[in-house]
Structure 1
Amino acid sequence: MKKQLIYLNLILVTLFISCKNKEEAQPVEEIKANTFDVIVDLKIEKDDELILFYKDPSIAYFDAKNTVYNGVKGKPESQQITFSIPEGILPNDIRFDISSNKEQSPIIINSITLSFEGRVFKIEQKDLLKYFTPNEFIKFDETTGTVSFIKKGEDFDPYFLTKEVIYPQIEMVRGVKM
């Protein structure tokens, strides 16, 4: 009888400890900032640092102060890179610097998505040139979404500027009634 009580107590203690550990292991739900996000789905094979510049109505020009940097590990498959603009800032224009690596292989852009408070605008690969203009350091193949780089001596600053047609879409994502 004593052995049965000892086994019963051991079982109860084990159950109590395992239940207690399960309660402690419950993940705490992370509260994320309410940010305007630009999500770029791309295939980039070499490590790089991509940069998103943004302006709001109080900013006249893109500058280094209003940027989001994103270090990227190169991979042979596509990946999504999210640029979260600081909470409380709602951009009315963006500029996307596609590479800082002078030795970067061609990059394939699959899509660019703007997102805020559940409102989303997704630009598919076939429509990238409708909404963005590549600068003189980029050769862009719109049928494949491939960005190749043009070297001009030591200068290297490949980026995409927005076209006017994107502004109503940014406003819609921001939640501004037109």
Structure 2
Amino acid sequence: MMLFKMFITLFSLVVLLSCEKNENTNSLKMDLDVVIRETDSIQIYYTQNTSVQFKEKQSFWKKVSGSKKNQTISIVFPDSIHPKQLRIDFGRNIKQSEIILNEIIFSYKKKSFSAKGEEIYHLFRVDESNTLIDKLIGSLKRKDENQLVGPSLYPKGDKLNKQLNQLYSEK
């Protein structure tokens, strides 16, 4: 019994220390507060310069379970990647009628910034070739309900880049 208590104490200490350590990593975390009703995947593209020429090799997929309620999707970039620009492609599930995007929160070390509601569209613009938007409710839909590609958000000029650079700065 004593050995079991020591094990629990040691385990708790390790968990607490590892939680503290995570705050100080060099990883950028992006949290999306969304309603995605159908199970789907989103694709995040990034560049490490100011370019908006997004490439498949600088992207990754995140699987999302469908829910009628708000959910937070967390994307944690590896320590070695400090994105300057981001593109978000919301899925390939043709049954996905709409996505509600409520908020985006970026965190790095102990600093963060967020964009909520219409503020999101000061940092991002919709891809008008495939996306319909209702900024008042945060609704993103496919322009053509039969197209495979879902709604997409691209950076709006250098606004996102400037915000991310402030986040990465030591000040």
* Correspondence for 2:139: 146
In structure 2, C-alpha distance between the alignment counterparts of 1:49 and 1:96, rounded to whole Å: 11
* Correspondence for 2:99: 107
* Correspondence for 1:118: 110
* Correspondence for 2:35: 43
Amino acid aligned to 2:5 = K
Q: Secondary structure at the match of 1:144?
A: coil
In structure 2, C-alpha distance between the alignment counterparts of 1:42 and 1:62, rounded to whole Å: 23
Give me the identity figure in percent. 21
Amino acid aligned to 1:170 = L
Distance 1:68 1:84, change over 3 A: farther
Distance 1:58 1:86, change over 3 A: farther
Amino acid aligned to 2:79 = E
Distance 1:60 1:110, change over 3 A: closer
Q: Is the 8 A contact 1:44 1:105 kept in 2?
A: no
Q: Are residues 1:167 and 2:164 paired?
A: no
Distance 1:150 1:111, change over 3 A: same
* Correspondence for 2:46: 54
Distance 1:59 1:128, change over 3 A: closer
Instruction: Give CA-to-partner distance per residue, 1:108-156, whole Å, 9 cap, x none.
Output: 1110111111121100112122211111211111000111222275552
How far residue 79 of structure 1 moved from its aligned partner, in angstroms, is 0.7
Q: Is the 8 A contact 2:51 2:85 kept in 1?
A: no
Q: Are residues 1:23 and 2:6 paired?
A: yes
* Structure 1: tracts of 5 or more residues without a match: 1-16
Amino acid aligned to 2:164 = I
Q: Secondary structure at the match of 2:57?
A: coil
* Correspondence for 2:71: 79
Aligned length: 160
Amino acid aligned to 1:167 = N
Q: 1:134 aligns with which of 126, 131, 147?
A: 126
Q: Are residues 1:156 and 2:156 paired?
A: no
Q: Secondary structure at the match of 2:67?
A: coil
| Higher CA-based Rg | 1
* Structure 2: tracts of 5 or more residues without a match: none
Give the structure-1-normalised TM-score: 0.80
